A = this chain, B = another copy of it.
């Protein structure tokens, strides 16, 4: 082999490596749609859903509705807001029901007006997260500086409180998608904390187009769901069931998380959410009503939709 030939071979190898690196950059080897279903032992084309309740711990009315729906089997996964006043109630339930699929709904905002909460970490260690009354910000202004190091401190504090109180989370997600949709720095904090605690994070490839940094940061060991469905303010109250039925009938193969917000439309929830109707008390009652209805169960059977949980996904990932 001449020196030139060796050089050529090295060049070809280097070129291949560069190409591979570029491809990995564009299409990181996350656990793909097909791989998730395969890994769970389902045939190709199977439609799998997680019916996931958000915001447990925020109010009693949300805890009570979620517990009722979980016990009926109507929802099969949920996540808990550690900084919220009713977290001890749902933590108590979680510790006495260790098989229930509970994650942590990591929370860095306090979006209501008449009912609020602040950090689990020392307030003086997370000043960029707090308003002048030392609650989490109601909302973030465009381009508001949120210090990623402070977010990391707060996420650790939330997870450590949950663990200390006996909760064994199956996954992490982000309240109001704050740590998903607000740039690479905050997403990287979320991902780093998730890796540290060996917990999957709720991410779906539906979000990659608008937030390409998600795909750049995710690695081959990270679980990525195929799709997510959540109802929005554009759906009028009388079309609630119709929206979900259509989504279920048009469901794509792979794993889809339905992010829902069940709650009981009672005095507490009406008062806690009264400043706006979006994600309010009647909204949450409608979610509870649809997902505990016979209609919902029948559609799952009709459409041959299977229910899976984050515990199933985490077990699958651990086997790899």
Closest to A161 in B: B133
Q: Which of B64, B85, B161, B165 contacts A115 (CB 8 A)?
A: B85
Q: Which of A42-98 contact B (CB under 8 A)?
A: 59-61, 64, 84-86, 88-89, 92
The proximity string for A residues 161-199 relative to B, scoring 1 for CB distances below 8 Å and 0 otherwise, is 100110000000000000000000000000000000000
Closest to A269 in B: B268
A271 proximal to B (CB < 8 A)? yes
User: Interface-forming stretch among A10-18, A22-30, A116-124, A311-319?
Assistant: A116-124
Closest to A93 in B: B114
A239 proximal to B (CB < 8 A)? no
User: How many A residues touch B, CB cutoff 8 Å?
Assistant: 33
Q: Which of B89, B120, B123, B271 contacts A114 (CB 8 A)?
A: B89
Report which residue of A60, A92, A117 has the largest number of chain B beta carbons within 10 angstroms of its beta carbon.
Answer: A60
The proximity string for A residues 257-269 relative to B, scoring 1 for CB distances below 8 Å and 0 otherwise, is 0000000101110
CA A285 to CA B88, docked complex, whole Å: 24
Closest to A267 in B: B266
How many copies of this protein are present in the complex? 2
Decide: B133 and A60 in contact? CB cutoff 8 A. Answer: no
Q: Which residues of B contact A132 (CB under 8 A)?
A: 164
Q: Which of B60, B165, B271 contacts A272 (CB 8 A)?
A: B60
Q: Which of A95-141 contact B (CB under 8 A)?
A: 113-117, 120-125, 132-134
Decide: B122 and A271 in contact? CB cutoff 8 A. Answer: no
Decide: A89 and B271 in contact? CB cutoff 8 A. Answer: yes
Known A-B contacts A86-B115, A113-B88; A64 and B267 likewise in contact (beta carbons under 8 Å)? yes
Q: Which residues of B contact A266 (CB under 8 A)?
A: 266-268
CA A125 to CA B122, docked complex, whole Å: 9
What is the distance, in angstroms, from A254's C-beta to the closest C-beta of chain B? 38
Q: Which residues of B contact A113 (CB under 8 A)?
A: 88, 92
CA A103 to CA B64, docked complex, whole Å: 33
Decide: A61 and B133 in contact? CB cutoff 8 A. Answer: no
Decide: A114 and B92 in contact? CB cutoff 8 A. Answer: yes
Closest to A135 in B: B88
Contact surface of A with B, Cβ cutoff 8 Å: 59-61, 64, 84-86, 88-89, 92, 113-117, 120-125, 132-134, 161, 164-165, 264, 266-268, 271-272
Other A-B pairs beyond A84-B85, A122-B122, A266-B266, 17, CB < 8 Å: A59-B268, A60-B267, A60-B272, A64-B271, A85-B85, A85-B116, A85-B117, A86-B115, A89-B114, A89-B115, A92-B113, A92-B114, A122-B125, A123-B123, A132-B164, A133-B164, A267-B267
